[in-house]
C-alpha cells in the first residue's frame, strides 16, 4: 500500500474525537505505522481510557498524547495546538473528526442547532484556522482530513441540523483543497472522509450490538489511509449493505433534483418513489 508522504514514521498526527470510533481506530493504525499521535476529546474519562489503550506497550507511551479539548471553542483548540507543538514540535496530519448529532428539524431545538454546528462545523473551522497556517509554514508534506457524512450529500430527512453541518463541512473541505493547491510550494493536501454506516459510539447509544450492515471503525480507518496514499480527495466508504455503486447512484439522484427541477429531496417524495426505484434498478444509469 502506498502511503501519503505525511504519514511517515516519526511524524505527528492530531485527531479530534480521538477517544473512540473512527478517530481512535485511525490513531491506532498510525501508531502501528510509527507515527506519534495526539488524541483530543471532550470527555476526560474516555480520553484517559483511550490513551491507556493506545499506550498499552511501554515503547509507545512517549508517542501518545491526550489533550482534553472542546472543539467548539477556538481557545480550546489553540491550547491543543500549543500542547502538541510543545510535546512533538510539528504536525503532519490534522484530522478534524469530532462530531455529534441530535440537532433537530429546521424550526425546532435551537440549542441543539448551536451544539451540532459548534462541534461539527465550527470545530473543523477552528482546527483549520489554528493548525493549517503552521503546517503550511513547515514546508513539509502534511495532510488535513475532515470527517463528513453521506447525510451532508444526499440530505435524508430527519436530523436537519446534522445534515446542514456535514454539508457545510463538505463545502469547507472542497474550498480548502482548492486554496491549498493554489499556494505556491504548499505541501499540505486536504481530504474529505465520508463514512458509510459505521458502528461508532453515536450508534452504540441506540444499538447495543453491531448491526450486520455496519462497518467497524477500523475498516473506515484502513480505507482512509489507503485512499490518502492514492491521493484521493473524496474518501467515500461503503458498508456491508451499501455498495459503492449504490452510493454513486444515490448521489447522482440527489444532484438531479437541482438539474431536473424536481421537488426537494424527491427520493423521499411519494410521487417520485417509483421513478427513484426505477433509476436505482437501471444498470446503465
Q: Which three cell numbers stand for residue 158?
A: 430527519
Domain locations along the chain: 12-241, 243-285
What tens digit of pLDDT does each residue of 13-61 get?
999 999 999 999 999 999 999 999 999 999 999 999 999 999 988 888 9
Mean pLDDT of the chain: 96
User: Is 249 annotated as catalytic?
Assistant: no
The string of DSSP letters for 231-273 reads T-SEEE---SS--HHHHHHHHHHHHHHHHTTPPTTGGG-GGGH
Q: Which of 162, 210, 234, 273 is the catalytic position?
A: 162
Higher pLDDT, 284 or 231: 231
Question: What's the fold here for domain 12-241?
Answer: Rossmann fold (3.40.50)
- Residues 136 and 67: their CA atoms lie apart, in Å, by 23
Q: 157-203 pLDDT, tens per residue?
A: 999 999 999 999 999 999 999 999 999 999 999 999 999 999 987 78
Among 36, 105, 150, 166, the one annotated catalytic: 166
Which positions ≥6 away from 71 have C-beta within 8 Å? 16, 17, 40, 42, 77, 96, 98, 119, 122, 123, 124, 126, 127
- 234 has catalytic annotation: no
pLDDT for the residue 1: 62
Confirm if 228 and 7 have CB atoms less than 8 A apart: yes
Amino acid at each position: 500500500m502506498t502511503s501519503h508522504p505525511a504519514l511517515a514514521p516519526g511524524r505527528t498526527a492530531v485527531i479530534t474525537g480521538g477517544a473512540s470510533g473512527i478517530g481512535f481506530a485511525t490513531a491506532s493504525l498510525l501508531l502501528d505505522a510509527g507515527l506519534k499521535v495526539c488524541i483530543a476529546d471532550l470527555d476526560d474519562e474516555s480520553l484517559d481510557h483511550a490513551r491507556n489503550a493506545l499506550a498499552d506497550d511501554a515503547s509507545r507511551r512517549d508517542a501518545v498524547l491526550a489533550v482534553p479539548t472542546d472543539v467548539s471553542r477556538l481557545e480550546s483548540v489553540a491550547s491543543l495546538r500549543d500542547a502538541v507543538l510543545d510535546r512533538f514540535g510539528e504536525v503532519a496530519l490534522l484530522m478534524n473528526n469530532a462530531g455529534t448529532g441530535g440537532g433537530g428539524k429546521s424550526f425546532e431545538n435551537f440549542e441543539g442547532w448551536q451544539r451540532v454546528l459548534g462541534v461539527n462545523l465550527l470545530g473543523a473551522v477552528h482546527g483549520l484556522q489554528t493548525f493549517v497556517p503552521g503546517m503550511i509554514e513547515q514546508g513539509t508534506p502534511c495532510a488535513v482530513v475532515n470527517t463528513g457524512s453521506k447525510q451532508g450529500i444526499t440530505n435524508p430527512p430527519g436530523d436537519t441540523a446534522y445534515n446542514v453541518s456535514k454539508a457545510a463541512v463538505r463545502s469547507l473541505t472542497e474550498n480548502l483543497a482548492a486554496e491549498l493547491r493554489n499556494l505556491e510550494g504548499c505541501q499540505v493536501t486536504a481530504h474529505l472522509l465520508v463514512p458509510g454506516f459505521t458502528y461508532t459510539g453515536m450508534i452504540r447509544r441506540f444499538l447495543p450490538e453491531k448491526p450486520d450492515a455496519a462497518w467497524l471503525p477500523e475498516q473506515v480507518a484502513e480505507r482512509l489511509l489507503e485512499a490518502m496514499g492514492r491521493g484521493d480527495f473524496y474518501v467515500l466508504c461503503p458498508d456491508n449493505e451499501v455498495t459503492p455503486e449504490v452510493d454513486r447512484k444515490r448521489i447522482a439522484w440527489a444532484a438531479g433534483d437541482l438539474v431536473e427541477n424536481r421537488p426537494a429531496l424527491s427520493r423521499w417524495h411519494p410521487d417520485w418513489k417509483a421513478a427513484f426505484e426505477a433509476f436505482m434498478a437501471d444498470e446503465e444509469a
